[in-house]
Structure 1
Amino acid sequence: MVPVSITREDKMSTQAKFAKVQDRLNTIVLERDTEIRNMLACTVSGQHAFMLGLPGIGKSYLITEYLKCFDTVKYFDKLMTAHTDVSEVFGPVSIKALRDDDKLEYNTEGFLADVHVAFLDEIWKSNSQVLNALLTIMQERKFANGNQNIQAPLISLFGASNELPQDESLGALYDRFICRMHVQPLKADSSFAAMLTASKVDDLDDGDKLSIKDLEDAGKQAANVDITDIIEPLTLLRTMLKVPEFGLHDKVYVSDRRWKACVKFLQAIAWMQGVDKLDKDHVRYLTDCLWDNPDDREAIAQLLTHSEFVSATVDRFQTLYNESVALIAIANKMDDKKELGKLFVQLKERKDELESKIKNNPDKAHHLKDIMAEFKAGFRQISRRYRSM
């Protein structure tokens, strides 16, 4: 691939807009840092994402709020049912083509084959005709309209459901979703309280919204991220997933197509972090790209903490973070303000320690900041809870 010529100013400007979108979504939808990061990375890399979760936990809300962050980007959203007709997804049948040329064609303007981003809620409830049409458009970006294949501008399709696909014939379509996220109900009482009392957050200014040029520029820039140092760790991971020793050999299948998409996804993550090269610490971001069944997610996450995929610096930082999370969990259950105050002081000291490590390890700062962002979210919740007592 010939590197695309990109000015430093253009790159920083595009990254800044994505960062603003990420910040806005994290303000609106609590405890969804990972999902938001993954959604943005899928958009940058031209991949698709699926959200699994119980009804009423904000899957559709998150994606809908994300769609509000676009400006000149065309998008389409639809709640799917078993009775949803192809014409409701790809456009009404052209009466003129049927009458004059005896051809079944669709007027696709404004529908799935004509947009950059799409959201299909309850996707697995769709009938087979719709699902089959999705296969080609998601992979090849083509839609068979009459006797011609039209090129679709689709960048990312987001699906959501409270169930996994039940029919084995849907395996190929399920594989098109590079990122699969199991969305959980809010865990922290402080998040629940904040959700109940939240006021409306202003939309982004028009100049901060993502345009189609922003998406195209981000994709080109991310494609230039150097993948050299990730090849060996991914080759090892591929082997580890196949051997009985790690207990995932009969549970996880990653197609060659999926591995290639994983690399693009990681390039997008690195681009969002502001770095030009992947390293082995990026492997941990693949947790939601490898599972087929959410029951296996924890085992995959554990495998990705193997020393072959984590540097000593990130490992030590992650250990401190895990200890801090345990303190936050204890703090969330405290009703005594004095005792909570003592624990809050400990958390503040831990926060200072983590920030110091970021400052002292600039070569790994992009990874440490991602972990730190998750800690800060929990810290803010405890801070609000303490002050409200």
Structure 2
Amino acid sequence: MGAQDTQDTAVRLRAITGELSDRFHERDDVVRTLVVTLLSGQHSLLLGPPGTAKSELARELTGRVGGASYWEILLSKFTAPTRMFGPIDVAALARGEYRQVYDGRATTAHIAFIDEIFKCSTAALNETLGYLNERIYHPENGGEPIRCPLIGAITASNELPGGEDSAAIYDRLLVRIEVGYLNDPVNFAALIRSAVTSTPRRPPRTTVELTALQQAVTQDVPAVQVPDTLVDAVCTLRSALRRKEIVASDRRWRQAVRLLQASAYLDGRTSVGAQDLPVLTHVLWNSPAERPTVEREVLHLVSPDAKEALDLADLLDELEVQLDSMSGQSREALSTWVIKNAHHKLATAGKRLEELRSEAVRTGRSTATVDRVTSRQHAVRARVLTEALGLDTSMVTTGSGPAASAW
């Protein structure tokens, strides 16, 4: 595959990322991280409550790889290994032959989606670990191990692992992405409207061929350069996290380098840059409570505007907590709170976020964090307008009218 073909693969993957981000509200970072993880040949975990489109997103992404063998399963404590890796061939058994049927199972899949991954049965645990870690399966009859063509698995769970068995699987999932319910009332309104649309819009559907993806995973991504400045940054980050008592294994750090290379490749760059470091926020925490600390330490290395944006996010969180605490109070009390407190803080935060984004664009830094916090500012502002002031949601949606201009 030539340089032009390599570039075309990256362009197609960027198009897929954009199309899925347009379809799934508030999932830009989730989508990009899943694509980067697949490009790095690693496994990901979507962690969040039911009804957050984890399964739909995984299916839509994996369905964009033309020619790939896809396998999906919903695990339970009673799932037998043969259901995952290949059932017994009953006809062969009647002839006195013990044989498994592998077609359509994990054993032959290029891409897998495993839902409720931490409910893996004890009987299937060792084979699942071998499958994820080494891409091998040991047949039930004790024959030679089977090499599986798995590029990467997307897994999902509504909760963290609760025992030693599931914790072993958790450790094999390099990338862990939290997925929550929609925050922005405007996005929620769009979701509701989509459920009652009589003629659904046909969105663009870019695909990438399996051979092109395999070429990217095995050759193009590993060829992306990692300069010494980035090695130094990763070493600095490790030390900073250790001071915060957040420790990741050497294996996890080493595997994370390929993620950085995949991030640069997806953007069409031949060398890893500081703008690729934010993907590590999904790698270096063990519990969700550690994620904000990891994110701050990562962004401290990336850019000052991203760090300041997170400080503004804290302010937005405080405003939302205050709004929640005022539930049931009179409209007059809520209006007074808006005038004396919320309005000025939201307006100031919005203006500052615009300035931070302009500065990031001017200097060539990533705007991902600033954009995410800006979306958060819009969501909190919408809540204040609708819940505290009682304004029509359509005024928030269109961004028109005196209320919108004042914010």
Normalised by the length of structure 2, the TM-score is 0.77
SS at match of 2:73: strand
Q: Conserved in 2, the CA contact under 8 Å of 1:84 and 1:126?
A: yes
Change (3 A) 1:297 1:186: same
Q: Conserved in 2, the CA contact under 8 Å of 1:222 and 1:267?
A: yes
Confirm or deny that 1:53 pairs with 2:66.
no
Q: What residue in structure 2 maps to residue 211 of structure 1?
A: 209
Tell me the distance in 1 between the aligned counterparts of 2:399 and 2:317: 12
Which letter maps to 1:295?
Answer: A
Q: What residue in structure 2 maps to residue 298 of structure 1?
A: 292
Q: What residue in structure 2 maps to residue 44 of structure 1?
A: 39
SS at match of 1:157: strand
Confirm or deny that 1:72 pairs with 2:67.
yes
Confirm or deny that 1:113 pairs with 2:107.
yes
Q: Aligned match of 2:86 in 81, 86, 91?
A: 91
Change (3 A) 1:81 1:321: closer
Q: What residue in structure 2 maps to residue 148 of structure 1?
A: 144
Confirm or deny that 1:192 pairs with 2:194.
no
Tell me the distance in 2 between the aligned counterparts of 1:201 and 1:136: 42
Tell me the distance in 2 between the aligned counterparts of 1:178 and 1:16: 25
Gaps of 5+ in 1: none
Q: What residue in structure 2 maps to residue 172 of structure 1?
A: 168
- After TM superposition, list the pairs within 5 Å mapping 1:196-275 onto structure 2: 196-198=192-194, 199=197, 200-202=200-202, 204-205=204-205, 208-219=206-217, 220-229=219-228, 230-242=230-242, 245-248=243-246, 252=247, 254-275=248-269
Q: Deviations over 1:307-366 (max 9, x none)?
A: xx23xxx213553586499689989x9x99xx999999989976764564355324x3xx
SS at match of 1:113: helix
Q: Deviations over 1:71-125 (max 9, x none)?
A: 212111111112222222112212466456654x421111111011111111111
Q: Conserved in 2, the CA contact under 8 Å of 1:50 and 1:160?
A: yes
Q: Conserved in 2, the CA contact under 8 Å of 1:328 and 1:379?
A: no
Q: Conserved in 2, the CA contact under 8 Å of 1:74 and 1:115?
A: yes
What's the CA shift for 1:292?
Answer: 1.4
Q: Deviations over 1:295-315 (max 9, x none)?
A: 211122222233xx23xxx21
SS at match of 2:58: helix
What's the CA shift for 1:288?
Answer: 1.1
Q: Deviations over 1:258-308 (max 9, x none)?
A: 1121111111111112222223453332111011111211122222233xx
Q: Conserved in 2, the CA contact under 8 Å of 1:72 and 1:210?
A: no
Q: Aligned match of 2:362 in 360, 363, 385?
A: 360
Residues matched between the structures, number = 363
Tell me the distance in 2 between the aligned counterparts of 1:184 and 1:141: 31
Tell me the distance in 1 between the aligned counterparts of 2:126 and 2:201: 39
Which letter maps to 1:357?
Answer: E
What's the CA shift for 1:17?
Answer: 1.1
Tell me the distance in 1 between the aligned counterparts of 2:292 and 2:207: 35
Q: Conserved in 1, the CA contact under 8 Å of 2:44 and 2:155?
A: yes
Change (3 A) 1:20 1:342: farther
Change (3 A) 1:348 1:54: closer
What's the CA shift for 1:40?
Answer: 0.5
Tell me the distance in 2 between the aligned counterparts of 1:29 and 1:342: 31
Tell me the distance in 2 between the aligned counterparts of 1:164 and 1:325: 25
Q: What residue in structure 1 maps to residue 308 of structure 2?
A: 319
Normalised by the length of structure 1, the TM-score is 0.80
Change (3 A) 1:355 1:33: same
Gaps of 5+ in 2: 324-333, 383-395
SS at match of 1:148: coil
Q: Conserved in 1, the CA contact under 8 Å of 2:305 and 2:356?
A: no
What's the CA shift for 1:158?
Answer: 1.3
Please identify the structure whose Cα radius of gyration is greater: 2
Identity %: 26
